[in-house]
């Protein structure tokens, strides 16, 4: 029997995506100014960025990037364990660890790599299991598959479900992994309850707080600190540099023994070139701003409340969330795509989010807010969302 032709398979899968309305289109940003972006010659107000504190364009952050690049060059030159670990990397790791109240930190090229590193390095034996929230980020779920451990999933936000999965898991080492703030719904994991479950079942609790650090908790220390938890309850935690800190990369913070083990054995750390030192220098300045600039969080919280009030006033189908992630449910894929197109015509960039990024039947516009937005821009966005929703309902009624 002849082998399947991969070009035929690719062609068939693309036809299926077209039929389902799930083709993803890459848009090119030609210029950017605050929350305004130029796309195909037209300026739009962006409501889909993860730059929650507006630090990606902050002048001191950009200056740190430029100064470090002029001094250290465009790249690190090697992996961390060869000759690629620069003073900027060391300073950033120390700063993040001290900010979050953890003994030590380890820098990675991305959150995806970091999540893979944690599971590959720790869940190596037969019978090891990673128990995860059903709505965890793809990087956490894929990491279990690539690490080769058992993957067990529990209903979203259900600590009792996590307990049941751990009780029924094999007798190997166990990790309980969850997002801190869920990237598609914007809600927060029940971390205190999960920490109790982990302790009862002798599992290591690992929190990916990509969307929490910088935004939540005292000094922006994230969801774990907001829940009054620390290294004793959450021995490992992921901090992204690409969301509230406005840059690129990720840091895993944890106790001394676990971080040392990762630095010596984690393949995504050992076998890749280190993050450019200039990027680390910029992230260091951004972290200091995120820690001390409480006004950014206060402004963001005010905009979130303003958006929520407007959504409620207009009866828009929003998911309950007090984070900068504010999903507006559209239902089927075609409705989400149509509404995104209507919003772009009105001057707003809010792409449609469809399965498999979200569950079937829950396609949405994933609105995200930034401290750079103005109150008037948020008000205008809500009005445009309501108009687009009403126009779609009229079309359906006429049909």
User: Is 112 annotated as ligand-binding?
Assistant: yes
d(CA 269, CA 107): 8
φ and ψ of 157, to 5 deg: 70, 15
Give which of 176, 219, 169 is closest to 195, Cα–Cα.
176
3-state secondary structure of 391: helix
Asked if residues 237 and 119 have their Cβ atoms less than 8 Å apart, the reply is no
Report yes or no: 109 and 280 within 8 Å, Cβ to Cβ.
Answer: no
Residues near 26 by beta carbon (within 8 Å), at least 6 away in sequence? none
Residues 35 and 318: their CA atoms lie apart, in Å, by: 22
- Asked if 168 contacts 200 with a C-beta cutoff of 8 angstroms, the reply is no
Q: Is residue 79 annotated as involved in ligand binding?
A: no
CA-to-CA dists, residue 110 to 106, 139, 222, 247, 300, angstroms? 12, 10, 18, 11, 25
Q: Cα(32)–Cα(46) distance, rounded to whole angstroms?
A: 10
For residue 24, say whether it is annotated as part of any ligand binding site.
yes
Q: Which residues lie below 8 Å from residue 121, measured CB to CB, with a gap of 6+?
A: 261, 262, 265, 266, 267
Q: Two tokens at 301?
A: 């919280």
211 is known to lie in a ligand binding site = yes
Q: Cα dist. 370→313, 326, 386 in Å?
A: 22, 11, 21
CA 7 to chain centroid, in Å, comes to: 33
Block residue for tokens 């107000």: 45
Q: Are strands 174-179 and 129-133 parallel, antiparallel or unpaired?
A: parallel
Query: From the CB of residue 190, how many other CB atoms can be counted at a distance below 10 Å?
Result: 18
The DSSP secondary-structure symbol of 181 reads: B
Annotated binding-site residue? 212: no
User: Per the annotation, does 137 bind a ligand?
Assistant: yes
What is residue 268's three-state secondary structure? helix
Cβ–Cβ under 8 Å, residues 104 and 256:
yes
Tell me the DSSP string of 317-358: -BPP--SSEEEEEEESHHHHHHHHHHHHHTTEE--EE-TTSS
Annotated binding residues for substrate, written as ranges, equal 24, 137
Annotated binding residues for pyridoxal 5'-phosphate, written as ranges, equal 111-112, 183, 211, 240
Annotated binding residues, written as ranges, equal 24, 111-112, 137, 183, 211, 240
């Amino acid at each position: 029997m002849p082998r399947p032709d991969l070009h035929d398979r690719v062609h068939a899968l693309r036809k299926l995506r077209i039929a389902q309305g799930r083709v993803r289109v890459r848009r090119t940003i030609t210029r950017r100014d605050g929350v305004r972006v130029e796309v195909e010659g037209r300026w739009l107000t962006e409501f889909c960025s993860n730059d929650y504190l507006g630090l990606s364009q902050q002048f001191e952050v950009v200056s740190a990037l430029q100064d470090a690049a002029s001094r250290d060059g465009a790249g690190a030159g090697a992996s961390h364990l060869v000759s690629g670990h620069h003073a900027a990397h060391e300073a950033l790791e120390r700063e993040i660890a001290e900010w979050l109240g953890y003994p030590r930190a380890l820098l990675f090229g991305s959150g995806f790599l970091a999540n893979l590193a944690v599971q590959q390095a720790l869940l190596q034996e037969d019978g090891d299991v990673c128990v995860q929230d059903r709505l965890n980020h793809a990087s956490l779920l894929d990491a279990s598959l690539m690490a080769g451990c058992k993957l067990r999933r529990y209903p979203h936000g259900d600590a009792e479900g996590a307990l049941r999965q751990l009780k029924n898991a094999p007798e190997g080492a166990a990790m309980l992994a969850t997002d801190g703030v869920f990237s598609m719904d914007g809600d927060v994991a029940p971390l205190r309850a999960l920490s109790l479950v982990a302790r009862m079942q002798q599992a290591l609790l690992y929190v990916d707080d990509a969307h929490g650090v910088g935004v939540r908790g005292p000094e922006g220390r994230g969801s774990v600190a907001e829940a009054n938890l620390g290294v004793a309850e959450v021995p490992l935690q992921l901090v992204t540099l690409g969301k509230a800190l406005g840059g690129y990369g990720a840091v895993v913070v944890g106790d001394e023994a676990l971080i040392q083990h990762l630095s010596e054995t984690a393949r995504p750390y050992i076998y890749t070139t280190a993050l450019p030192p200039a990027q680390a220098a910029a992230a260091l300045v951004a972290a200091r701003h995120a820690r001390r600039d409480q006004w950014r969080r206060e402004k963001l919280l005010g905009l979130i409340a303003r958006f929520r009030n407007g959504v409620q006033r207009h009866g828009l189908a929003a998911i309950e969330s007090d984070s900068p992630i504010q999903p507006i449910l559209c239902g089927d894929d075609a409705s989400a795509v149509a509404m995104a197109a209507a919003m772009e015509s009105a001057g707003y960039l809010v792409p449609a989010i469809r399965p498999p990024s979200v569950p079937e039947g829950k396609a949405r516009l994933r609105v995200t807010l930034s401290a750079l937005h103005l109150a008037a821009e948020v008000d205008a966005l809500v009005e445009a969302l309501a108009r687009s929703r009403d126009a779609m309902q009229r079309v359906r009624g006429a049909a």
